[in-house]
């Protein structure tokens, strides 16, 4: 069996991997994390999606254990502002659609148009987000009665692939605090940290990695090397020369400028969602953490200079950020062709990344780690495990690429060259046919990207109807059916939304109590 795991890189990917591998295999493996003192982690990556709870659950952590230490908040979905037209917003929530007489409520909504806001009419989350409510009551109960929480998370550990029910929320957290928290957690459980730079990568006669050469600690040897060095891909791309497949022709946003803005939460409120506000050459994220806001402008360098982007971001944020230094980031959009090559597995930005519009970076990390555990090699390095791993990692990011392309293709906004070009840009193979199909029949599980990529048909429905730029039609069958049950369901959602907004505490109130 392989015993010595060497992780190079100590950002979110490095420490999530170290903590998870120790949780999975305990002391049957040795985990060493080599982390540079000089090269800072990327410092962004603060919004997640709802499957992240399996990660914390697998580590045996409860919200009270880690959320206050990472300034974490709840995220019930993403609020898209101005993607259709100025002043318009809609939510992509973590909420599956209700089904009435065999048709999702979306189909009924397109048929009946009971209101002008699809998200408010079909989901509970929209009202809860608008009203800045917590998803939990002050006594800790979840608002979502359908979801039965695992009473013994530390004994029954679930993973992504066992997400049977849709958990109603994810988290926002401070990336640096989380990496620090996980580092401490992993080291308490036996992971070893080496604070040093990797200067060179040693190879054996097969061309596989035998050791990494550090500046002050000599050679660090291992059986399996995990590349968590971020966009550099120091092991996988530089040493092993595995090619990188760019998604630039489909997704041109290649740059970001970010700010950390301290805020008075009590006065401003704490909206339980990420906001993505469309701009002239991209969009701005707003991530409310406990005590500050993480914000940044993701843009295409073909349409905006860094100076222009920073100006736009500062105007958007206002004077609160005047003294804050902006962090300019060049993004590598796409994926390493094979994330696992020889005895090296890339996890995190070294493996692949798409712009953070649907907060998928940390999801890719979690997926990569879980798949690694499921396909963990023995000493014979069975290539079938490696191939299966590579397929599953590639499919996840390819699916998300397609979902993101839908956001630009589907946005009704058409007021400048950037948004007009978004409608004519090249799309990934298979997407055009799928979109054509959705014009006649709204997306279903069998008509979206066919492999696991974290999103279900309801997400496609939410963004398609929210963005408003693509034509959709009601299912003809509905005109022949009695719609009374659908009317009742729409009324039920209105009543439940109103009651929840009344009875739930504000997110600020709930988290302040936790703190």
Single residue of 198, 209, 326, 462 touching ligand FAD by CB under 6 A: 198
d(CA 209, CA 239): 9
Per-residue b/e over 133-148, b at no fewer than 16 CB within 10 Å?
Answer: bbbbeeeeeebbeeee
Site string for ligand FAD, 149-178 (x = CB under 6 A): --------------------------x---
Catalytic choice (75, 423, 441, 473): 75
* Residue with smaller CB distance to ligand FAD, 107 or 174: 174
Q: Which stretch binds ligand FAD (CB under 6 A): 42-50, 237-245, 385-393, 453-461?
A: 42-50
d(CA 103, CA 95): 16
Residue 39 interacts with ligand FAD (CB under 6 A)? yes
Question: Is the separation of the CB atoms in 229 and 350 below 8 Å?
Answer: yes
User: What would the two tokens of residue 504 be?
Assistant: 């739930």
* Residue with smaller CB distance to ligand FAD, 214 or 506: 214
Residue 352 interacts with ligand FAD (CB under 6 A)? no
Residue 348 interacts with ligand FAD (CB under 6 A)? yes
Site string for ligand FAD, 304-343 (x = CB under 6 A): -------------------------x-x------------
- In the complex, least distance from residue 33 CB atom to ligand FAD, rounded to whole angstroms: 9
CA atoms in the 13 A half-sphere facing the CB of 42 = 25
Q: Which stretch binds ligand FAD (CB under 6 A): 8-16, 263-271, 473-481, 499-507?
A: 8-16
SS3 203: strand
Residue 35 interacts with ligand FAD (CB under 6 A)? yes
The string of DSSP codes covering 128-182 is: HHHTTB-SB-TTS-BS-TTPPPPS-TTTS---GGG--S--S-EEE--HHHHHHHH
Residue 37 annotated in active site: no
* Residue with smaller CB distance to ligand FAD, 9 or 468: 9
> For residue 192, what are the β-bridge partners?
32
Residue 233 interacts with ligand FAD (CB under 6 A)? no
Q: Which stretch binds ligand FAD (CB under 6 A): 10-18, 379-387, 419-427, 458-466?
A: 10-18
Question: Integer distance in angstroms from the first to the last C-alpha of the chain?
Answer: 44
d(CA 283, CA 357): 8
Tell me, by CB under 6 A, how many residues bind ligand FAD. 38
* Residue with smaller CB distance to ligand FAD, 11 or 399: 11
Question: Is the separation of the CB atoms in 366 and 52 below 8 Å?
Answer: yes
Burial of 329 (0-12, 13-18, 19+ CB in 10 A): middle
Tell me the residue length of the chain: 515
Q: What is the CA radius of gyration of the chain?
A: 23
* Residue with smaller CB distance to ligand FAD, 75 or 434: 75
d(CA 456, CA 460): 7
Residue 46 interacts with ligand FAD (CB under 6 A)? yes
- In the complex, least distance from residue 354 CB atom to ligand FAD, rounded to whole angstroms: 9
Binding residues for ligand FAD (CB under 6 A): 8-14, 34-36, 39, 41-42, 44-48, 175, 197-198, 228-230, 232, 234, 256, 296, 329, 331, 348-349, 356, 359-362, 365
Q: Which residues are catalytically annotated?
A: 75
């Amino acid at each position: 069996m392989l015993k010595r795991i060497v992780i190079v890189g100590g950002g979110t990917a490095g420490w999530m991997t170290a903590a998870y591998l120790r949780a999975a295999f305990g002391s049957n493996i040795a985990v060493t994390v080599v982390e540079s003192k000089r090269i800072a982690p990327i410092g962004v990556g603060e919004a997640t999606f709802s499957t992240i709870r399996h990660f914390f659950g697998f580590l045996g952590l409860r919200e009270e254990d880690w959320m206050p230490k990472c300034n974490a908040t709840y995220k019930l979905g993403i609020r898209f502002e101005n993607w259709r037209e100025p002043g318009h917003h809609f939510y992509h929530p973590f909420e599956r659609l209700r089904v009435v007489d065999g048709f999702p409520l979306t189909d009924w909504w397109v048929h009946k148009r009971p209101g002008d806001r699809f998200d408010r009419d079909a989901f509970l989350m929209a009202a809860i987000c608008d009203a800045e409510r917590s998803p939990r009551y002050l006594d800790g109960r979840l608002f979502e009665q359908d979801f039965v929480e695992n009473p013994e998370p530390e004994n029954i550990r679930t993973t992504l692939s066992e997400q049977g029910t849709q958990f109603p929320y994810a988290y926002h957290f401070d990336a640096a605090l989380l990496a620090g928290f996980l580092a401490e957690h992993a080291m308490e459980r036996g992971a070893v940290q080496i604070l040093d730079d990797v200067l060179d990568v040693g190879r054996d006669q097969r061309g596989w990695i035998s050791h990494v050469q550090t500046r002050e600690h000599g050679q660090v040897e291992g059986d399996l090397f995990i590349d968590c060095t971020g966009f550099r891909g120091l092991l996988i791309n530089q040493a092993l020369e595995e090619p990188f497949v760019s998604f630039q022709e489909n997704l041109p946003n290649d740059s970001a400028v970010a700010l950390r803005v301290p805020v008075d939460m009590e006065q401003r409120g704490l909206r339980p969602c990420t906001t993505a506000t469309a701009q002239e050459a991209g969009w701005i994220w707003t991530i409310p953490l406990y005590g500050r806001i993480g914000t940044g402008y993701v843009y295409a360098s073909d349409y905006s200079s860094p100076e222009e982007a920073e100006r736009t971001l500062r105007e958007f944020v206002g004077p609160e950020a005047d003294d804050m230094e902006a962090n300019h980031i060049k993004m590598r959009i796409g994926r390493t062709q094979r994330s696992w090559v020889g005895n090296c597995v890339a996890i995190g930005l070294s493996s692949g990344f798409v712009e953070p519009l649907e907060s998928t970076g940390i999801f890719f990390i979690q997926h990569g780690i879980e798949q690694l555990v499921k396909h963990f090699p023995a000493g014979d390095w069975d290539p079938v495990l490696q191939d299966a791993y590579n397929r599953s990692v590639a499919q996840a990011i390819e699916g998300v690429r397609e979902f993101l392309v839908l956001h630009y293709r589907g946005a009704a906004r058409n007021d400048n060259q950037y948004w007009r070009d978004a409608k004519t840009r090249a799309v990934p193979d298979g997407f055009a046919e799928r979109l054509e199909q959705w014009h006649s029949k709204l997306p279903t599980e069998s008509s979206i990207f066919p492999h696991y990529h974290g999103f279900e048909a309801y997400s496609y429905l939410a963004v398609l109807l929210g963005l408003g730029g693509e034509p959709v039609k009601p299912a003809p069958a509905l005109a022949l059916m009695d719609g009374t049950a659908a009317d009742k369901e729409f009324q039920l959602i209105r009543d439940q939304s109103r009651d929840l907004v009344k009875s739930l505490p504000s997110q600020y109130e709930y988290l302040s109590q936790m703190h």
